[in-house]
A and B are shown apart, each in its own frame.
Chain A
Amino acid sequence: MNRWLLSILFACTFASSTRLAAQEIAADASSDEPVAESASTAEPREPTLHDYFRASAVNYVRISPDGTRLAYTDQQQTIYVGSPSEGFKPLVSFDSRRGVSQLEWVGPSGLMAKLVSSQLVTRFIAFNVAIEDGELTAKDVIAHQTPGLILDALPNEPEHVLFWKSDVKDGNAFASVYRLEPFKESRTQLGEGDRLNKRFDQASWFVLDRDKKLLLGLDTWGEQIRLFQRSAGGTKWSRIWSGNADDQFIPIQLSRDENTLFVLTNTTTDRLVAAEFDVAAGQVSRILYEDPVTDVHNLLMSERTGRPAAVVVNRDGLFDYVFFDAELEQRLETLQEQFADASVTVTELAANDSSAVVYVSSDSDAGTYHFCLLASAQCAEIGKARPNLTGHGLAPTETIEVPSSDGFSVFAYLTMPISDTDDASIPLIVMPHGGPIGVNDDRRYNADVQWLARNGYAVLRVNYRGSSGYGKTFLSAGMRQWGRGIEDDIEAATDAALAGHERLSGDRVCIYGASYGGYSALQSLVRSPERYRCAASFAGVTDLPLLFSRSVYRRDEALRDQLIKMVGDPNLDVAELREYSPVYNYRKITKPVFLAHGTDDSRVDIEHSWRLQRLLKMTGADVEMHDYADVGHGFRTVGQIEKFYTPLLAFFDRHLDVVRPATQPPLANTEPDG
């Protein structure tokens, strides 16, 4: 199995709750709340936890092929179609057990949506958008019950789409691409007759040529990454390049002459760069952009030129652009002027770069989608991601750069609460992210952070060694640093935050996180009890050898090897694993502990929290344990999040001496469970 794919998998393994609960919460989106509620019509009221954690009210905004209409989903249960001028109309709705995870225009007026149920069963819905009696309506609705995703909507062949599906065989994933007619008949399975890569089963991803034929195939599951090319006009596939499986090679798009593949890769560099790959020579021929600090996040392709228009980089915790296309740069700069200091992100570029969907966010805006005509720099609002936060402001976040003990630059984000008073002592919650390898925090909207800040806490998040986005060396520096270098970085960042902010109270600090972040919080009490008043863990690892007890790691050698690289070998290094396990150091934990765990957590079993709880109770330590039925490695509903945060905030209030007036409970919630 490809190692960087594995690292992504692992990142997910111990990090799904990194943004603890700020994941897409679809299942209990309140149906009575209008989507894209405008600020002017909304009755001002104190925002609730639900307002912070509910999924974005606008998702998957797509411009129609003729550029006249837009489609989007709300909290992923209803598809809206329309335009900012004529308004948006809900055309198709799904029950709350299913959420949209892909939305594409197919043909001039068709839409196709991928739906995933809570049990991860996939189906697709296709329908045509028509006008009847002057009203937009959905016609020809047809369902396909098959897994996969829409690879290409084939704009020049309105009857067809290319469909990608992955099958796992002997532990390896093999992709198949099918040519389907989404409006012809309902499909429950994909036939061999529709498969385009019948004689090539080795790829996990494909690149299309200008005729939308499969030209390049990428195999990321072997000992090496391998790129294959189909022979001209034929069906024979030959390997044209191979690279280290630990590296990344992400194809973006072929040039129009099909000689160059634009990629993001780190095969020849430490950080992920935007590069040109010479197809004939089978090698990276030119680096288009390498950032001095961070990995390149994405490549924005110009529809007008067919070439990269800009790279997207992480600058100061927000997305920023470095342009190759001067015309587009000038247009987007003009656009930016309208939004002052807000962050403007292009989510879709269409109609020969003449129109775009942009997402605008700032400390006073939790995110608004706009449809913009770039030539005239005219934008119209599509909708707000979190309409109920409008007018309430968000707690501002600043970036802190700290040198680590061994020469790295570590970036951290400090969010200070909005306060009407000059409170000289603001309590701080240090919140390490999960992972620990291959995950990072940034300055964009984060519900956990904003909710804690709303309740009066400053929050510090640290991109410690091992975090993604800063190159291979920084990433691998986090390996086997559980309870060691990683926590050194967290402590260095905490010191810097306290030193730079007199209002932060150094003696009122707790540490809290999920998954690896939960581990880090607990182990921090072991190694540096003097720094913290308390620690809180959700789905936290407490016993490192126990990680290897999961049957999936016992069976799958590749997964096990990756876990060993990340944590240590349970056969050779068991003493070391125990040395850095909160369970085996429980006697050193003298500060109050809050443990929370889902009973259905298949990544970090609830046994982890139980073990520590049982031991701590023997010592008479101040420990409280909360288990949540039907909760896995993260929360699915806002109601679950609320049940978690209610005791958690009470715990922080108690141990950080936060006294609230009776009229201001820590959880200003007025809504029923979702």
Chain B
Amino acid sequence: MDDHLRPATVLLLACVSFGVCVLSTVANAQTRCERTATRQITKFDKQIAAADTRFSERRNKMIAAHLATVTDPAERERVEEAFTDVLTPYNFEKWLGNSRKQKAHVREKASDESAKKCEIGKSTAEFFDETVDEYEVFQARALDALEDRIAIETVGPDEGLAVMAMYIDGPIMRLTLDRRGSMGGGRLWKDLPQGQYFRVIKLPAGDYQWTTVRSMRVFTRNLWADSQVYYFDLREDDLAFRIEPGKLNFTGVFLFSGSAVRASAELKDRSSIVMRLVENRYPDLLEKFPVFNGAVPDDGYLQFFIEERRLAAEAAP
């Protein structure tokens, strides 16, 4: 090769070579990005699958332990149905819907050839980890509900069933229910989620009162920087109910609303709404136990409704 041409040739080769390098770098980055996304998604799917396995094992073990004590086939069938009913609201597939959308979004981002840099990294990994944590909390709540459901299969002579219905608007870290005139027998709820809570639990017979809420006042959107923990004393708010032994006691609907400005709690007599929930999730309890309105004992609606429903059923062809 002519020496005079050498610099130009070198330059040309360098340019070609550099261009290839640039293209190669972009392509490699893209592939790396997709690989990262795939790795994160695979890890996430494995964690979810593992969580599901653990959940199933625990659920099956709990149910099996109880069924071991039940010999009557009809009763076994009732119990199995009851356990299914109580777990029905815990729809894992629905819960995971958002993470499926997020997975699709991550894949799309990772394969976006027009992106200048890979956006799949630490933040998406954190999102998947947090989702797994939250999923496990959700599963724990389902198991907790199942545990309560199994517990109410045996009701002692001094115990009653309490239909607990709450609507929470604002974060609740701790909610205390105290049994009047007793050091024990109350119940503590921790980290209640926003929205509706509905459960039938077993409580010693007696008079109860919602007493304290530990909550957070959120002043801005920056939850952690600008919020403060507050206790709200509910003892003067007449949020009380009675549990009668051997009965399915409606305890009203506990409504809590907390904001930066004020917090309020109320106990409402919403027997017909609660009855609808009981019919859907605890139908067998309505067959087994007499119903009592423990929040407003002199409200005759529940007995009237039950009687009218019985008459309607009898009259049905």
Contact = CB atoms under 8 A, between A and B. Distances in A.
Interface residues of B, number: 27
Instruction: Classify the interface of chain A: helix, strand, loop or mixed.
Output: helix
A618 B310 CA distance: 10
B238 A607 contact: no
Nearest to A599: B167
B189 interface: no
A549 B296 contact: yes
A607 B271 contact: yes
B268 interface: yes
B261 A605 contact: no
A615 interface: yes
B269 A607 contact: yes
A614 B312 CA distance: 12
Contact of B266 (A551, A618, A619): A551
A546 B301 contact: yes
A551 B296 CA distance: 10
B262 to A, nearest CB: 8
Interface string B280-308: 00000000000000011011110011001
Given A551-B239, A578-B300, A615 B305 contact: yes
A471 B219 CA distance: 50
Contacts of A555: 238
Contacts of A583: 301, 304
Interface string A29-44: 0000000000000000
B237 interface: yes
A324 interface: no
Interface in A518-557: 543, 545-546, 549-551, 554-555
B114 to A, nearest CB: 35
A584 B308 CA distance: 10
Nearest to B265: A551
A530 B156 CA distance: 54
Nearest to B311: A618
B300 A549 contact: no
B298 A570 contact: yes
A551 B299 contact: no
B305 A614 contact: yes
Contact of B269 (A549, A570, A613, A615): A549
A611 B301 contact: yes
A450 to B, nearest CB: 35
A610 B273 contact: yes
A574 interface: yes
A119 interface: yes
A121 interface: yes
Nearest to B264: A602
A596 to B, nearest CB: 16
Interface string A605-635: 1110011011100110000000000000000
Interface string A575-586: 000100001100
Interface string A94-119: 00000000000000000000000001
B252 to A, nearest CB: 9
A472 to B, nearest CB: 33
Interface string B177-215: 000000000000000000000000000000000000000
Given A543-B301, A615-B308, A551 B237 contact: yes
A610 B300 contact: no
Interface string B255-269: 000010110001111
Contacts of B299: 545-546, 549
Across chains A and B, which 6 residue pairs bring their CB atoms closest together, nearest first?
A549-B269, A610-B272, A607-B270, A611-B272, A618-B312, A549-B296
Interface of A: 119, 121, 543, 545-546, 549-551, 554-555, 570-571, 574, 578, 583-584, 605-607, 610-611, 613-615, 618-619
19 contacts: A121-B261, A546-B299, A549-B299, A550-B268, A551-B266, A554-B238, A574-B298, A578-B300, A605-B268, A606-B270, A606-B273, A607-B268, A607-B272, A614-B272, A614-B275, A614-B276, A615-B305, A618-B308, A618-B312
